[in-house]
């Protein structure tokens, strides 16, 4: 306890700085992924996307991000191995935040869409493996995460491929695309309302319900989501009735009027995805920060770390600033460089990604928002043929994914011994 009485204030200040830096990286890299399809399809401008994401990511992070975070992030480390040296957990979590933040900064500058979850996981594994010992790492959880690298983009790609094929069959490749759009798009609107609500209720708001003592089963969540889906379809149908056909513009592009309808739909998906993402992924930055503050205040490793609202506020502000200052780089990669997107294609990618997150939430599989969205965009591109994909960009993205875990781990090991040397 004497150690924390002497250095506690300094450690908390450093942890807050590193946590804010990590949140900045989440905003610059991960949030940009969620908005990239909307920007690339020209449903939203970059300024509009940043504004929507700033509002809804912050709301998601601050209002629905308040989970009681496990002291050791995602159960990757066996806490009992650190009971005699709680300061090592503080060094390690500080190292993990700083290492993951630096890697996300590098990735954002390069325009690589990498996973913030895997960045922080790699960093925690790195310091635990070298600083504490291999017995401290729960390897079963690591293999689950590695499996999700393959599973989440593959599943999202298959769903998005199928969705866009259905759009082609029912609407785009018909004699009168606009009339068929008016007929079938309300069904897609219901699907969007249902699935995005499921993302938010099952994944985003779960901890709000838990803290309020409300128990909501998966079936109940599905029922409420279906009600929301019907309401969205009704509201969507109203806006759909106001979209007029521009026959003059259709002479140059026969899908001009149809894409205007899908553009309206994508504004809704962008808002909902931003809220759900903020409520879930803010934990990548503030989870380790909450663990540090809990250990410094108590002087020992407890089973849980309560999440004070000011930590969520810090994370929310960091996410917003990261998106506003550097988010455009990754948005360009996801939205424009992998394959050319239109509102109908962007809708299929976003709905495919949302579906994957819902399925993962229901089954407990750990997935990455980034990998899911990239897989979804690839699926839409493949529906138009392999020539529609930019294979060079895809290759650099896959390389950045492979490097993420060892990069985070290597940096965290360096910082762990650096902090250990300074504080003793």
Read off the pLDDT of residues 99-146 as tens digits, 9 standing for 90 and up.
Answer: 999 999 998 888 777 888 788 888 988 888 888 888 888 788 778 777
What is the per-residue pLDDT across 42-97, written as a single tens digit (0 to 9) for each? 788 878 888 888 888 777 777 665 543 443 344 677 767 777 788 888 899 899 99
Distance of alpha carbon 144 from alpha carbon 301, whole angstroms = 25
Distance of alpha carbon 396 from alpha carbon 393, whole angstroms = 5
Which are the contacts of 345, defined by CB distance < 8 A and separation ≥ 6? Answer: 41, 164, 339, 380, 384
Residue 303: pLDDT over 60 = no
Residue 417: pLDDT over 80 = yes
Please tell me which residue, 235 or 53, carries the higher pLDDT value.
Answer: 235
Report DSSP state, residue 304.
E
Lowest model confidence (mean pLDDT) among 68-77, 172-181, 244-253:
68-77
pTM, two decimal places = 0.79
Closest CA to 294 of 68, 18, 60, 118: 68
Q: What is the pLDDT of residue 68?
A: 33
Which SS3 state, helix, strand or coil, does residue 308 take? Answer: coil
Residue 29: pLDDT over 70 = yes
Q: What percent of the chain shows pLDDT beyond 90?
A: 13
Q: What is the pLDDT of residue 75?
A: 66
Which SS3 state, helix, strand or coil, does residue 214 take? Answer: coil
Distance of alpha carbon 354 from alpha carbon 368, whole angstroms = 12
Q: What is the pLDDT of residue 242?
A: 86
Asked whether the beta carbons of 343 and 41 are under 8 A apart, the reply is: yes
Q: What percent of the chain shows pLDDT beyond 70?
A: 87
Distance of alpha carbon 372 from alpha carbon 378, whole angstroms = 10
218 token code pair: 């998966």
Distance of alpha carbon 177 from alpha carbon 255, whole angstroms = 7
Please tell me which residue, 305 or 184, carries the higher pLDDT value.
Answer: 184
Q: What is the pLDDT of residue 64?
A: 62
Closest CA to 191 of 170, 214, 215, 217: 170
Q: What is the pLDDT of residue 109?
A: 85
Q: What is the pLDDT of residue 138?
A: 79
Stretch 274-278: mean pLDDT, rounded?
74
Distance of alpha carbon 304 from alpha carbon 314, whole angstroms = 20
Domain ranges of the chain: 2-174+279-423
Distance of alpha carbon 186 from alpha carbon 16, whole angstroms = 46
Distance of alpha carbon 359 from alpha carbon 375, whole angstroms = 15
Stretch 381-410: mean pLDDT, rounded?
81
Report DSSP state, residue 303.
S
Please tell me which residue, 401 or 180, carries the higher pLDDT value.
Answer: 180
Alpha-carbon separation of residue 66 from 5, 11, 69, 74, 321 (angstroms)? 28, 23, 8, 15, 20
Q: Tell me the pLDDT band of 18, cut-offs 50, 70 and 90.
A: very high
Place of tokens 């140059």: 252
Residue 192: pLDDT over 60 = yes
Please tell me which residue, 35 or 27, carries the higher pLDDT value.
Answer: 27
Asked whether the beta carbons of 33 and 114 are under 8 A apart, the reply is: no
How do strand 304-305 and strand 69-70 relate by DSSP bridges?
Answer: antiparallel
Distance of alpha carbon 212 from alpha carbon 214, whole angstroms = 5
Q: Tell me the pLDDT band of 419, cut-offs 50, 70 and 90.
A: very high
């Amino acid at each position: 306890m004497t150690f924390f009485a002497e250095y506690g204030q300094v450690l908390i200040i450093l942890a807050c700085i590193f946590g804010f830096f990590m949140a900045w990286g989440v905003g610059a890299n991960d949030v940009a992924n969620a908005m990239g399809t909307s920007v690339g399809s020209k449903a939203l401008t970059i300024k509009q996307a940043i504004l929507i994401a700033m509002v809804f990511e912050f709301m998601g992070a601050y209002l629905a991000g308040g989970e009681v975070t496990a002291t050791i992030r995602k159960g990757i480390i066996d806490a009992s191995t650190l009971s005699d040296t709680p300061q090592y957990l503080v060094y390690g979590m500080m190292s993990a935040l700083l290492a993951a933040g630096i890697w996300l900064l590098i990735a954002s500058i390069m325009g690589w869409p990498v996973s913030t979850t895997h960045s922080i996981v790699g960093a925690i594994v790195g310091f635990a493996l070298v600083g504490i010992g291999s017995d401290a790492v729960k390897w079963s959880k690591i293999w689950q995460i590695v499996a999700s690298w393959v599973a989440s983009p593959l599943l999202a790609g298959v769903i998005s491929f199928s969705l866009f094929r259905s759009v082609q069959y029912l609407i785009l490749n018909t004699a009168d695309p606009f009339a068929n759009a008016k007929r079938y798009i309300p069904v897609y609107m219901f699907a969007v309302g249902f699935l995005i609500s499921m993302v938010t209720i099952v994944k985003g708001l779960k901890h709000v319900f838990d803290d309020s003592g409300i128990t909501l089963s998966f079936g109940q969540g599905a029922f409420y989501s279906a009600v929301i889906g019907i309401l969205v379809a009704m509201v969507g149908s109203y806006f759909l009735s106001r979209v007029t056909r521009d026959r003059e513009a259709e002479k140059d592009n026969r899908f001009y009027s149809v894409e205007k309808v899908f553009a309206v739909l994508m504004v809704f998906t962008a808002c909902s995805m931003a809220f759900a993402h903020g409520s879930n992924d803010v934990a990548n930055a503030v989870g380790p920060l909450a663990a540090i503050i809990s250990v410094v205040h108590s002087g020992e490793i407890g089973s849980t770390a309560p999440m004070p609202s000011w930590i969520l506020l810090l994370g929310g502000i960091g996410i917003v600033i990261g998106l506003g200052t550097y988010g455009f780089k990754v948005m360009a990669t996801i939205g424009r460089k992998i394959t050319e997107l239109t509102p109908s294609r962007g809708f299929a990618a976003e709905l495919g990604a949302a579906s994957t997150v819902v399925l993962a939430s229901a089954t407990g599989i750990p997935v990455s928002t980034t990998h899911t969205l990239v897989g979804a965009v690839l699926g839409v591109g493949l529906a138009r043929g392999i020539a529609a994909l930019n294979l060079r960009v895809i290759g650099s993205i896959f390389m950045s994914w492979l490097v993420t875990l060892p990069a985070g781990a290597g940096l965290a090991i360096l910082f762990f011994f650096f902090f250990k040397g300074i504080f003793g």
